[in-house]
């Protein structure tokens, strides 16, 4: 049944604070999310309200209309564009007599499909169980309608009809396992810091083109697809800049507006890669009509991660398919690129070096021709701008930029002091 696409109606409630443009884009995003979860949207149902109905989300008349449409079109799933309360979910399920899921459950389902690593799978299961726990009260016959595809995939589904105590025990078990993984990740990051490795994180709204750029820059095999949440597990690779300086580049999970709170908590450790970075490359899809809102969403999440003060280079991507009304809105350092364009990627690498130089100090050192190892380190760990071999005294004259906290800077100073004696 994995390849059979379920017939879906998507439902949205437009509230006064959301204008038509934003609402239409949020419904478009829901359709994309449904497609990513292998569902086929056959109809959209929307309603304007001052606030959602506390018991059924939509008004009574709209629920009745929806019930008739479900029967007429033989719909498998109805997906709501907001997180439903446990009572709304229960009431709608009873009245519509079909599988009901909300935006949160849909995102959890996609994450369950995408998780590859042990950590990713555990985090998804934790988020699913924490979402399900309050929704198990009083649910009986509704649970039997939760079989099939969308919204029930992944480790969480086998726990649905078990008792709450069992679920709580499993939640604690997962948290313990994750704490071990988090500690391991911390040690790994700490070792990288000790080695003074410069770390860059690719961030951005889901489907902005981060993995495409990551693959082209590092010649890696990160999962790349024109679907939401194509990348879930963080991936880190070496990136060699023009000067030879080697940095670490991390690809991260795509951000999304109103990311379910259970997921924000569950993926905190994954997103810690971002908070530890020396530079953030914020990728924005310039072909998306709602690019401005995507940019704001990412910056809001960065604040929540206490990462808003990290130097940031904004990359407006997909300029080969740029939206007609596109106008750059970011402050600070900006590049307009297409990840598929080699010249643009080379410009990006030069810009990264420029931004690094702003934080570095200049050095000049003469190395004896026998200092091959030290010279190799200068090429990899500094931005070497000038290298001359002076035949008169058989030395290499090196000029460039280095981080003042680098142990190599101490060695350069020692070398210079030795020359002066």
List, in order of start, the domains of the chain with CATH numbers: 6-113 (3.40.50.11060), 197-357 (3.40.50.300), 361-417 (3.30.70)
Tell me: is residue 317 an annotated ligand-binding position. Answer: yes
Query: pLDDT > 70: what percent of the chain?
Result: 85
DSSP-based three-state secondary structure for 417:
helix
Q: How many CB atoms lie within 10 A of CB 64?
A: 13
End-to-end CA distance of the chain: 78
Tell me: is residue 12 an annotated ligand-binding position. Answer: no
Residue scoring higher pLDDT (139 or 11): 11
Residue scoring higher pLDDT (380 or 421): 380
* Confidence check: pLDDT of 189 > 80: no
Taking the C-alpha atoms of residue 150 and residue 169, their distance in angstroms, rounded to an integer, is: 26
* Confidence check: pLDDT of 188 > 90: no
Q: What is the pLDDT of residue 254?
A: 79
Q: What is the pTM of this model?
A: 0.78
Tell me: is residue 338 an annotated ligand-binding position. Answer: yes
Tell me: is residue 233 an annotated ligand-binding position. Answer: yes
Tens digit of each residue's pLDDT (9 = 90 or more) over 279-294:
999 999 999 988 998 9
Per-residue pLDDT band for 228 (boundaries 50, 70, 90) equals low
**Strand runs (DSSP E) across 163-311, as ranges?**
199-204, 235-240, 246-251, 279-285
Tell me: is residue 211 an annotated ligand-binding position. Answer: yes
Residue scoring higher pLDDT (284 or 323): 284
Tell me: is residue 204 an annotated ligand-binding position. Answer: yes
Tell me: is residue 254 an annotated ligand-binding position. Answer: yes
* Confidence check: pLDDT of 232 > 70: no
Per-residue pLDDT band for 224 (boundaries 50, 70, 90) equals low
Tell me: is residue 205 an annotated ligand-binding position. Answer: yes
The segment with the largest mean pLDDT, out of 120-124, 327-331, 369-373, 384-388, is 384-388
Q: What is the pLDDT of residue 111?
A: 82
CB 132 within 8 A of CB 159: yes
Q: What is the pLDDT of residue 158?
A: 46
Written as six digits, the tokens of 399 are 């000029």
* Confidence check: pLDDT of 344 > 90: yes
Q: How many CB atoms lie within 10 A of CB 373?
A: 8
Tell me: is residue 208 an annotated ligand-binding position. Answer: yes
* Confidence check: pLDDT of 153 > 90: no
- Write phi, then psi, for 299 (nearest 5 degrees): -65, -35
Taking the C-alpha atoms of residue 389 and residue 294, their distance in angstroms, rounded to an integer, is: 51
Tell me: is residue 138 an annotated ligand-binding position. Answer: no
Tell me: is residue 206 an annotated ligand-binding position. Answer: yes
* Confidence check: pLDDT of 220 > 70: no
For the residues 296-320, what does the mean pLDDT come to? 91
Tens digit of each residue's pLDDT (9 = 90 or more) over 57-72:
999 999 999 999 999 9
Q: What is the pLDDT of residue 141?
A: 43
Residue scoring higher pLDDT (122 or 147): 122
Q: Are strands 77-80 and 395-402 parallel, antiparallel or unpaired?
A: unpaired
For the residues 120-142, what does the mean pLDDT come to? 75
Tell me: is residue 292 an annotated ligand-binding position. Answer: no
Q: If you average pLDDT over every residue of the chain, what do you get?
A: 84
Q: What is the pLDDT of residue 421?
A: 44
Tell me: is residue 266 an annotated ligand-binding position. Answer: no
- Write phi, then psi, for 307 (nearest 5 degrees): -115, 10
Q: What is the pLDDT of residue 335?
A: 95
CA torsion 202→207→209→211, rounded to 10°?
A: 60
Tell me: is residue 319 an annotated ligand-binding position. Answer: yes
């Amino acid at each position: 049944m994995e390849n059979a696409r379920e017939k879906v109606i998507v439902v949205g409630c437009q509230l006064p604070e959301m204008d038509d443009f934003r609402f239409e884009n949020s419904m478009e995003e829901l359709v994309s999310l449904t497609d990513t979860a292998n569902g086929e949207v056959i109809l959209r149902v929307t309603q304007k309200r001052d606030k959602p109905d506390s018991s059924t989300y939509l008004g009574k008349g709209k629920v009745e209309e929806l019930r008739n449409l479900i029967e007429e079109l033989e719909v498998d799933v109805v997906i709501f564009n907001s997180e439903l309360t446990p009572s709304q979910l229960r009431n709608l399920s009873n009245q519509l007599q079909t599988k009901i899921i909300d935006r949160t459950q849909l995102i959890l389902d996609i994450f369950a499909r995408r998780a590859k690593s042990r950590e990713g799978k555990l985090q998804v299961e934790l988020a699913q169980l924490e979402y399900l726990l309050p929704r198990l009260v009083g649910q009986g016959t509704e649970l039997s309608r939760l079989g099939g595809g969308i919204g029930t995939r992944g480790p969480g589904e086998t726990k649905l009809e078990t008792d709450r105590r069992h679920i709580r025990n499993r939640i604690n078990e997962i948290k313990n396992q994750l704490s071990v993984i988090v500690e391991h990740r911390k040690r790994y990051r700490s070792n990288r810091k000790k080695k003074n490795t410069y770390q860059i994180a690719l961030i951005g709204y889901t489907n902005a083109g981060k993995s495409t750029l990551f693959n082209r820059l590092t010649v890696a095999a990160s999962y790349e697809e024109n679907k939401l949440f194509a990348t879930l597990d963080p991936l880190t690779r070496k990136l060699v800049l023009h000067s030879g300086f080697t940095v670490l580049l991390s690809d991260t999970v795509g951000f999304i507006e109103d990311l379910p709170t259970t997921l924000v908590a569950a993926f905190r450790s994954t997103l810690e890669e971002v908070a530890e970075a020396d530079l953030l490359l914020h990728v924005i899809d310039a072909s998306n009509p709602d690019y401005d809102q995507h940019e704001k969403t990412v910056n809001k999440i960065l604040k929540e991660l206490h990462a808003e003060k990290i130097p940031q280079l904004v990359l407006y991507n997909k300029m080969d398919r740029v939206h007609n009304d596109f106008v750059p809105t970011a402050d600070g350092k900006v590049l307009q690129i297409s990840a598929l364009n080699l010249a643009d990627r080379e410009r990006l690498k030069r810009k990264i070096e420029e931004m690094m130089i702003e934080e570095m100090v200049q050095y000049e050192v003469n190395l004896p021709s026998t200092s091959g190892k030290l010279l190799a380190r200068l090429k990899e760990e500094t931005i070497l701008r000038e290298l001359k071999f002076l035949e008169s005294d058989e030395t290499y004259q090196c000029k460039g930029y280095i981080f003042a906290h680098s142990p190599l800077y101490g060695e350069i100073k020692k070398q210079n002091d030795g020359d002066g004696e």
